[in-house]
């Protein structure tokens, strides 16, 4: 299949975007994933930013992950979308399918606005959990797994050099861990705070993204990955 445009997979945290994007890339045989998450642009924080999920995916080319040093400034939305478009153009020129993936409330709207002015991305698929799905429980499990994998050591090491950086002071998984390391709260309280922050953010994402009618929403369960991929492939063919 030849591809003429990029496509995007967006949605709230814990919706399964990363797993779907990378599996879609493998299934099509030509997919390359382009990052659309702001914090995922920074180096040295794979567990804190969630980049570790993407890094664990094998056999797929990825673009615009970990491109900034921790003490650099966030890339402005307009500039970053220009970078995304450039990467997508290169992938298309090489016969690949650019799969833009992320949930940033800064970069997703910028992508959608840019795409209205000069279309280059379709379809734009939004993933959301089914009704009744316990989002907080999933978030809590992810937080516990990140701590088990070394989240605290990651933050402790980077805190020595980057305490005053944007990424250290604006990342939901980091802020409570810094407070824990400073002795202001216990570890249990830090875990609860991280889960609460991410849950509130997931609700804001859904409210925010709901303003854009061009997003094609699909309910997605991690246990039904194949079904979700089939639906997206059908949208690509259309």
Q: For residue 237, how many other CB atoms are within 10 A of its CB?
A: 7
Q: What is the pLDDT of residues 127-186, one digit of tens each?
A: 998 888 888 999 999 999 999 999 999 999 999 999 999 999 999 999 999 999 999 999
How many distinct structural domains can be found in the chain? 2
Q: Are 81 and 127 part of one and the same domain?
A: yes
CA dist., res. 213 & res. 64, Å (int): 27
Same domain flag for 122 and 140: no
Residue 90 sits in the same domain as residue 181: no
> Which structural domain range is residue 150 located in?
135-201
Q: 120 with 27, same domain?
A: yes
Identify whether residues 76 and 123 lie together within a single domain. yes
Judgement on whether residues 157 and 227 belong to the same structural domain of the protein: no
Are 128 and 139 within one domain? no
Q: State yes or no: pLDDT of 35 exceeds 90.
A: yes
Average pLDDT over the chain reads: 94
CATH number of the domain at 183, please: 1.10.287
User: Do 166 and 80 belong together in one domain?
Assistant: no
In this structure, is residue 175 part of a structural domain?
yes
Do 14 and 87 fall into the same domain?
yes
Q: In CATH, what number is assigned to the domain containing residue 231? A: 3.40.50.300
Question: Is residue 207 included in any domain, yes or no?
Answer: no
Is-contact 18 101, C-beta < 8 A?
Answer: yes
* Helical residues (DSSP H) of 94-126, grouped into ranges: 107-117
190 lies in the same domain as 225: no
What distance separates the 2 farthest-apart alpha carbons in the chain? 56
pLDDT tens column, 39-70: 999 999 999 988 888 888 888 999 999 999 99
Rounded distance between C-alpha atoms, residue 11 and residue 104, angstroms: 9
Identify whether 79 is part of a domain.
yes
Q: Do residues 183 and 232 both lie within one domain?
A: no
Q: Can you say how many angstroms the Cα of residue 109 is from the centroid of all Cα atoms in its chain? A: 14
Question: Measured between alpha carbons, how far is 83 from 64 in angstroms, rounded to an integer?
Answer: 8
Percent of the chain residues topping a pLDDT of 90: 87
Mention every residue, 6+ apart, whose C-beta is less than 8 A from residue 99. 6, 7, 8, 9, 21, 24, 25, 31, 32, 33, 34
Domain assignment present for residue 28? The answer is yes
**pTM to 2 decimals?**
0.94
Mean of the pLDDT values across residues 72-87? 97
């Amino acid at each position: 299949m030849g591809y003429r445009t990029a496509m995007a997979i967006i949605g709230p945290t814990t919706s399964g975007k990363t797993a779907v994007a990378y599996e879609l890339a493998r299934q099509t045989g030509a997919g390359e994933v382009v990052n659309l998450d702001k914090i995922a642009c920074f180096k040295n924080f794979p567990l804190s930013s969630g980049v570790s999920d993407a890094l664990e995916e094998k056999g797929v080319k990825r673009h615009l992950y970990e491109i900034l040093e921790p003490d650099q400034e966030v890339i402005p939305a307009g500039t970053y979308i220009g970078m995304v478009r450039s990467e997508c153009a290169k992938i298309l020129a090489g016969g690949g399918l650019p799969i833009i993936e992320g949930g940033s409330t800064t970069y997703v709207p910028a992508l959608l606005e840019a795409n209205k002015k000069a279309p280059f991305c379709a379809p734009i698929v939004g993933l959301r959990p089914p009704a009744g799905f316990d989002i907080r429980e999933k978030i809590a499990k992810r937080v516990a797994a990140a701590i088990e994998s070394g989240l605290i050591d990651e933050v402790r090491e980077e805190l020595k050099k980057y305490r005053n950086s944007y990424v250290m002071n604006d990342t939901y998984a980091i802020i409570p861990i810094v407070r824990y390391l400073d002795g202001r709260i216990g570890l249990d309280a830090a875990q609860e705070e991280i889960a609460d922050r991410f849950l509130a953010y997931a609700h804001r994402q859904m409210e925010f993204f709901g303003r854009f009618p061009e997003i094609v929403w699909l309910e997605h369960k991690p246990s039904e990955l194949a079904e979700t991929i089939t639906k997206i492939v059908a949208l690509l063919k259309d």
